[in-house]
Amino acid sequence: MAQKVLTASGQIKGGEGNLMALCMTADGVTSGNKVEIIDSTSATGTAELTFVFGNTDDVIPFYPCVGMHFDDGIYCKITKTTGTLTVSAVYD
């Protein structure tokens, strides 16, 4: 397993893999800002997971019972207007 930490949109894994866990933290963001996880190597495509922040300071953990499979890659799209969103991903 490997870990990747992002504070801006970016690729988690460049090919087929499994997402084992995510931990997303928000510090001073605007309510409604979001994190999308896409089955792709870029921001194009449909989000498989979407997490929307309801508070300006928040923590959202995501731990599926078994890894979530992605065929083409794992891409994290962060949409925010203010503050900092940090996404920690564990994958293989």
User: Which tens digits make up the pLDDT trace of 44-89?
Assistant: 989 999 999 988 899 999 999 889 999 999 999 999 999 999 999 9
Which residues span the domain enclosing 87? 2-91
Q: Is 77 helix (H, G, I), strand (E, B) or coil?
A: strand
User: Measured in whole angstroms, how far is the alpha carbon of residue 48 from the centre of its chain?
Assistant: 10
Provide the number of structural domains found in the chain.
1
Residue 12 burial (CB count, 10 A): 24
The string of DSSP letters for 20-66 reads: EEEEEEEESPPTT-EEEEESSSSS-S-EEEEEE--SSEEEEEE--SS
**CATH code of 25's domain:** 2.60.120
Whole-model pTM: value is: 0.94
